[in-house]
Structures are given as C-alpha cells and as structure tokens.
Amino acid sequence: MSYLPDALAWKPDIPKDRKGARVRHYDQGDRDIQGAGTVTFTLAGGAGRWFVQRSHFGASPEPHRTRYFPNRRTARECFEHLAYE
C-alpha cells in the first residue's frame, strides 16, 4: 500500500481520553496555506497505526488526522508531501 496524494480524507483526531490511544509524535512541520493560515502537520502514531495530524486549519482549533497507514514509511511520505511540498 502506498500513499496517494489526491485521496486524502481528514477525520476527527483520536480523543485524548481514549484508553490505549497512546500517540507518539515523530516529526512536525508548519506550512502557510492560502485561506487557512499557518497549518502544523505532525507525523504521529505507533504499532501499525501511523497517521498525519493537522492543527490550526482555518477556523478549526481541533486537530484532525488522516486515515491510518500500515507503516511509518507510508505515513512519512504523506507527512512530507503535506508539510514540505
């Protein structure tokens, strides 16, 4: 499975009070997006549940996440595309 740049859907982030939802953050990058301002993208996850989180998107203060990726390499491709391209 590989990352498809045009097939990205954002979902509500994992609730902080969810049992067993320990999330580790591995990398972070800010990007200015027209109409949304500065958006922070974070590569996060662990144990087969890797994803990219976005924060401060437009008027939404709540973070959102991508679907889960099966490995960190695929999630990193998504992160680098969003944060740096």
What pLDDT does residue 78 have? 92
What tens digit of pLDDT does each residue of 67-81 get? Answer: 899 899 999 999 999
pLDDT band at 66 (very low <50, low <70, confident <90, very high): very high
What is the DSSP secondary-structure string of 2-62? ---TT----EEPPPTTSTT---EEEEEEEEEETTTEEEEEEEEEETTEEEEEEESBTTB-S
Q: Read off the tokens for 75.
A: 């999630």
What pLDDT does residue 9 have? 84
What tens digit of pLDDT does each residue of 12-65 get? Answer: 887 776 666 677 889 999 998 887 788 899 999 887 789 999 987 766 778 899
